[in-house]
Every structure is written in C-alpha cells, then in structure tokens.
Structure 1
C-alpha cells in the first residue's frame, strides 16, 4: 500500500479524537455571584473610597502597630498559610514539568564473561533516556492551570491571615485598654467609698449617724474593694492574652501601656465604596474562593482528558565500551521511539467516576464561592450597622455620664451637709459608676466596629489582577 494512502488512513482514524480534544477545550459557562447594587446599611463619610493599608498607623498608637507586627511574625496561621504557598508553588512546578520531556541519565560498569566476545571483559555504558507524553487533550495543561490558580489562592489566603491576625490583636488591645480604663474607674470608686465610710464612722462615733447607716457605708466600701480586685484580675487576664498573641515580655508590655484609653480612628480614616462589588474586590478570601472555582474547572478538564487515548514518545542515546585482552571496542547507539499509543478499554468506569467526582467538586466550589460573596456583603453590612449605632450613641452616653457624675457630686455635698441620706448617696454613686463603665464599654464597642469594618473590607488588600467572573 503506498505511503500517502497509509497517512490518509492514519489521519482519518485520528480525526474523531482530534475533534473530541477540541470539544474538551470549549470555553466554560460563566458563574455569576450577584451582589446588591447598593448598601442597605448607613455609609460613613458619604461612601468615598480610600486605601486601608496604613490604617493601623493612623490610630496614633505606635505600640499597637508594633504588636500587630509581632503577632504576624509569631502567628501559626500565617506560618501555615506560608507553608501552603510553598506547597502550591511546588505543585505548580511539578505540573509544568509534565508538559515538557523528561530526561534521565544512566551509567553502569561491570566485569565478567561477555557473550559477544566470548571472553572476560570490562564493560562501561552511559546513556540518556528521554520520554515525553504528548498532551493531546490538554489534560496536563489543565493540571498546570489548576496549580497556578491554587497558588494565587494560597497567596491571597496569606493576606487574609494577616488581616485576621491584625484584627484579633487590635480587638485584644482595645479590650485591654478598656479594662484598664474600667480599673481606673473602679479604683476611684473604691477610694471614694472608703472616704465615705471613714466619714460615716466619725459621724457615728459623734452620735450623728445611726449604726445601720454606718453599716451601709462599710458594706459599700467593701463592695468597691471586691469590684476593684475583680477588675484587676480581669485586666491581668487580658494582658496575658495579648502576650500570648504577640510574644511580648509581660513586664515590658505592662510598662509600655499608657493609662489613657485607646482612641478609635477619626472619621476621615476609613471610607467604604458605594457599590458592594468594589469592596468585595478587596477581600482576599473571596478572591481565593474564586481562584478555587477556576482550579476546580481545570480539574474537570484534566479528568475528562484521562478518558481518551494517551500518546507518548521516547528516545535513547547511549555509548558503550568493552575492553578485553588489550583490545577496546566502542559502541554508540541512538533510537527515536517507540511512539506509544494507549487506549483505555476496560477499567470498570474508573475514569468516568473520576470525572463525575471532579464535576461534583466544581459544583461544590461554585456554591462555596457564592456563599463567600454573600457572607462578605453581609459582614460589611453588619459592621456598618454596628459602627453607625455606636457612633450615634456616643454623644448621648457622654452626656448621661457627665450628668450622673454631676448629680453624684451634688448628692455627696448634700450628704456631707446632712441633707441627704446614705441610701440616696449610694444610689447616686451606683448610677454614676454604671454610666462611666457604660461609656468605656461603648468606646470599646466603637473600636470593635471599626476593626470589624476593616476586616470585612479586606484590610486594604487588592487582587494582583482585576477580579473577573469565575468560570467553568
């Protein structure tokens, strides 16, 4: 049969396979994850956009910036994220290697009876063996795309871990500062009640105060001692929790803490984009979920390619030397081939099941991606609501605390003049104390709302490329 006839038969036999290969590379449909067209929560600062990268430095507390850096250097979550980047990079290197030929070197030496020369001889051999699986259906290319997408996702998750650690440290630091502020309030209250008890004791000895009234003053002073001791214990626990996060020396950290409370950032420091989609672009976890969708899509292509014939080409180059009885013989060989074609025939549906599993994993990643987008929008909405509520209550809480303090001072002056009872004094004191503590807690709540908004908005992270709709 003529050679050109053989070539035509060969291409006719391969044509269905080539068409099938083109079908596996068809563009996948888009995955949409709709977001609201506008926020349903009140926006601070008229909804303008501002980068958040240097946000912690703008709080005006250098110690907070140092603690965030220390915690990030020490965090096991960041170490795990960094390890996953290294693993993803190694997987990408391996998948890229599958697209290129592999070459192995071999060498051997022996001495013994050689059948070809029928005598004892020394034989030395060296050679190169190459093998290349031709990526007919794009399976290896799909594996490389999946590894590349997962590497980008791992890098984004590392940024997400940084944002999470920074937010955790800021919340713990704010909690400690608030606790110290409440401790100062409790200690002032303890001194005030102790002074009242001393005056009551003197008045009782002079016969101007009933024993029951003096007993009430003593009980109030004892209650203040208990409250102050409990607050000191709570602050010690908060300090130890911050030490565990940052690895700082406890004694050194205690001396660095100023008695003044942590001040939340001013209104000009954090701005939120008008459209939810713009904020979603700043979420590294959403970006990572999108990359996982793309990787799962490539996994489907790889599993699909495994169901079709595989074509591999091999070749060798070798040199041999035989020495016997003073004579030397050199042999050089090379070969190209065989060109091996393997067709899956009977494998019990294993490859089809692998493709079904890959498609199921893709459907799962799509559902997780859409859920992540909805969660991101919800977290920003909730943070905006909490921030708006805390800011709106601050002025009223400050006015209430100042009014109750004024009322307490007036009641105390009347009590000293004998115009108010001990019960009136203690009631005014409890009200003023509760208002001061509520004001401190509200400041912590507002700082927590800022931190939650920082975290929900992605901490100022930006994707390395423009966010595109995930595909399969």
Structure 2
C-alpha cells in the first residue's frame, strides 16, 4: 500500500508544478504596491520658531527623562487597562490572521477524505463494499498576478493596525500626563486658596473690630464680608476640582483612590519642570513619525490594491483540481486493492456579461482611491498646522511663564517690605493682609502658567508623533 501510494503523490505533485509553470510562465508576481504619495505640499522648514538649544530626546523615553517616576508608573498602568489600547491590539491580531489568509490563497488547498459504501449488485447476485481514502487537491491559479497585490494590501493593513496601537498609547499617555500635572498644580493652588480664605477672614474680623471702634464704615464691613464669602466659595470650588482630577486618574489607571493619594503625596509637595525636547527642523522628518499620517498612507495603499483587485475580477480565472488515494473492493469475500489518481478538471471561468457590475466595482474602487489620496493630503496639511500651532503656543507660554516668575518674585519682595513696615508700625494689619493676597495671587498666576507650560509640551509631543517610528511599528 505504501509503496504504491507514495509514487502517486509524487506524480500528482509534479503534474501540478508542471501545469503552474506552463500556465504562469509569462506572468510575474506584482511587486509590493508603489508609493503613490509624492510630496503633498510639505514646507521645507517650520514657520514657527523652535529652539535649537534643547537636547534631542527619543520621545518614547520622554516620560522617563522627566524625573517623574510616579508619572511613568501611572502611564503604564493606564495603558495596561485602556479599552482603546486593547481594541488596537485586537485589530493587530485580526490583521495577522488576514495576512495568513492571503498567504494561504497562494498555495494549493489539501484536504483528506475517507469514504466507505456498500451496494447491492443484482447482476452479480450479491453485494460489494467499496472503501477509499486519499487527498483532494484544489488550486486557484494566480493568472492576474494578484499575489503581490493581496499580500501588500494585507501587510499595509497590519502596519496600519500597529500604528493605531501606537497612537492609542500616545493618546493615553498624554491624557494621564495632563491629569497628573493638573492634579499637582491644583494641590498647590488649593494651598494658596486656603491661605487666601484665611486672610480674607482675618480682614473681615479686623474690619468688624474697626467698625466697633468707629474707625470703619458699614460699607467697608459689607465689602470685607463679601470678599471672605467669595474666597470660601473659591476654596470649595478648588477642593472639588482637585477631587475630580484624582477620580479621573482612578478611572484611567484602575488604581484605588487611597493608593493614588499615597503615590501622589510626594508629587504634590515638590516642584515640577517639563523636560524640553528638540524636533527636527525638517517638517517631513517630523511628520513621518505621526501615526495618523502613517495610517492614512496605509489606507491609500489598500485603496490602490482594491483597484487592482477590481480590474482582475474582469479577467479569466483558472482553477485546477486533483485527487490521489487508495481504495479496495470487497465482493464475495474477495478483496481487491487499487490506488487511484485524477488530474483535473482544469477549468477556466471567463466573465462575459454581468450587467456592468464588475465595471461599476472598478469605478467605485478608483473613486475610493482618489478619496484616500485627498484624505491623506489633508491629514498632512493638518499635521503641519498642528505642529506649527503647538510651537506658537509653546513659545508664547514660555515667554509668559518667564514674565509671571518675575512678577511673583517682585510680589514676594513687596510682601517682605510690607512685613517690615508692619513691624515698624507704618502700615496696619489690613494693609499687610492685602499685600499678602497680592503676593499669593501672583504666585497663583505663575502656577497656572506652569500647568499651561506642561500642557504645551504635551501638545507638541502629540503633534510630532509621540515617539512613533514607522521602521519599527511593533506591539
């Protein structure tokens, strides 16, 4: 059995190979899809100012470079539990499966078969049994040389899924960092709001005493009471803002509120400064690292593949089948062994009339390709705009932040002078309280710009791709 079955498999294999060589000898597999996108109006250099004095940092390591281990821990925790990241990972697995399907379509399909039947034969006055086992072979030959197109399309889809995963992680990191820094500044602002509320309360008390001594009016007391009530309301609002930000981090990281408070306590007590990073002076190099543009480019390549597929649907289709197996016949107690093989049918499917369906499919695919190209070019222009706007915003905030530090420092100097004047009896306590509040207000404004500065760097981080590298888009 074995000696007769193996040669048959070799013969059928040789027959298939010979047929493929004869039928496809004049065809060549299409190379991976060519790049259709050629310089969609990318400027030669950035119009907005960007500093060349900061060191270059790999953006995927930017969070670790900021000496904020708590931030890096929260980002990792949020990415691990993010449904957006999980969905992106699922798309990667689906794209891998589709890649495997595309490869499988290029190869013959083999399936094992086994059958047994018993039949009555009146002519021979008896029954006989027929048993058969074998391998069924089917192959749709690539007459239109679609193998390269299909595999390139599947590869583009897989690369797009990888970029979506990176984009999801970048978005989560930016959102966590925004909440992290907002919580940090909020706690500092809360401390200042507590001081301001206590100061306005003291001013109200002193004004009431002055009124009792005949040295202040009812209008002055009413104004002091209004300011004290307003400061207490602002303090409550600040409390609520800080609590909401903490609960936002709880939702994003899946950590308990008590664990987060323990983690962030040292953060709230220290100063935080963003680590600047340099971007490429050549816009094309920066834009090449944006996941959304990479995805849009993959969409163009997939749309082109669909055009080629629609064109091939109007061409003849050739399929080849075969069978090789072993069987036996049992009749009247006698067993007859036999091996069988078939080569064919070799079938040609030639489209003749379909009421214009295939032509319409091709026109639709070409329209989708044009739309994908326009979308890609629009995304490039939007990418340039986002980077330019981020640079303008960052430059503006950096200048305002420097001025706010000067104002806060001078307000502290003025407060020191007021303290000396109070000790010398040259001003009263009410005037000193007002000087304190002016200093705290200047400090509050500077801290607000601290947060805006952090956010401006995060915006630029996202605008230039957040460390995505198309050459190594792996999950």
Q: TM-score under structure 1 normalisation?
A: 0.86
1:93 aligns with 2:103: no
1:178, 1:261 within 8 Å by CA — same for their partners in 2? no
Q: CA deviation at 1:204?
A: 4.1
What are the superposed Cα offsets for residues 376-401 of structure 1, whole Å, 9 maximum, x if unpaired? 22111111111111111112111223
Query: Corresponding residue for 2:71?
Result: 64
Q: CA deviation at 1:261?
A: 5.8
Aligned equivalents of 1:271 and 1:29: distance in 2? 29
Q: CA deviation at 1:212?
A: 4.1
Question: What is the aligned counterpart of 1:31 among 16, 31, 37?
Answer: 37
Q: CA deviation at 1:157?
A: 1.6
Query: Corresponding residue for 1:263?
Result: 272
Report how many aligned residue pairs link the two structures: 448
Q: TM-score under structure 2 normalisation?
A: 0.86
Where in structure 2 are the equivalents of 1:426-441 lying within 5 Å?
431-441=438-448
2:29, 2:145 within 8 Å by CA — same for their partners in 1? no
2:199, 2:433 within 8 Å by CA — same for their partners in 1? no
Paired residue secondary structure (1:105): strand
Q: CA deviation at 1:115?
A: 6.9
Where in structure 2 are the equivalents of 1:208-287 lying within 5 Å?
208-258=215-265, 259-260=268-269, 263-267=272-276, 270-287=277-294
Question: What is the aligned counterpart of 2:403 among 396, 403, 408?
Answer: 396
Question: What is the aligned counterpart of 2:141 among 121, 134, 139?
Answer: 134
Moved more, 98-107 or 138-147: 138-147
Query: Corresponding residue for 1:184?
Result: 191
Q: CA deviation at 1:442?
A: 0.7
Q: CA deviation at 1:61?
A: 1.1
Q: CA deviation at 1:106?
A: 1.3
Paired residue secondary structure (1:257): helix
Aligned equivalents of 2:366 and 2:55: distance in 1? 41
Query: Corresponding residue for 2:4?
Result: none
Moved more, 432-441 or 298-307: 432-441
Aligned equivalents of 1:108 and 1:73: distance in 2? 52
Where in structure 2 are the equivalents of 1:103-122 lying within 5 Å?
103-114=110-121, 119-122=126-129
Aligned equivalents of 1:216 and 1:310: distance in 2? 90
Aligned equivalents of 2:93 and 2:35: distance in 1? 31
| Change in CA separation of 1:57 and 1:49 when aligned onto 2, cut-off 3 Å | closer
Structure 2: where are the runs of 5+ without partners? 1-21
Question: What is the aligned counterpart of 1:83 among 82, 85, 90?
Answer: 90
Structure 1: where are the runs of 5+ without partners? 1-13, 467-472
Aligned equivalents of 2:29 and 2:368: distance in 1? 21
Paired residue secondary structure (2:226): helix
| Change in CA separation of 1:372 and 1:391 when aligned onto 2, cut-off 3 Å | same
| Change in CA separation of 1:152 and 1:439 when aligned onto 2, cut-off 3 Å | same
Aligned equivalents of 2:122 and 2:351: distance in 1? 41
Q: CA deviation at 1:427?
A: 6.5
Query: Corresponding residue for 2:393?
Result: 386
1:85, 1:155 within 8 Å by CA — same for their partners in 2? yes
Q: CA deviation at 1:300?
A: 1.2
Q: CA deviation at 1:354?
A: 1.3
Aligned equivalents of 1:340 and 1:200: distance in 2? 103
Moved more, 404-413 or 96-105: 404-413
What are the superposed Cα offsets for residues 38-73 of structure 1, whole Å, 9 maximum, x if unpaired? 100011234875422211011111110001001111
Aligned equivalents of 2:421 and 2:217: distance in 1? 17
Paired residue secondary structure (2:460): helix
2:199, 2:437 within 8 Å by CA — same for their partners in 1? no
Query: Corresponding residue for 2:8?
Result: none
Q: CA deviation at 1:307?
A: 0.6
Where in structure 2 are the equivalents of 1:434-449 lying within 5 Å?
434-449=441-456
2:59, 2:461 within 8 Å by CA — same for their partners in 1? yes
Q: CA deviation at 1:23?
A: 13
Where in structure 2 are the equivalents of 1:315-464 lying within 5 Å?
315-407=322-414, 417=425, 419=427, 431-464=438-471
Query: Corresponding residue for 2:150?
Result: 143
Aligned equivalents of 1:116 and 1:89: distance in 2? 58
What are the superposed Cα offsets for residues 254-310 of structure 1, whole Å, 9 maximum, x if unpaired? 12213236623234xx01111001111221221222122122212211111111111
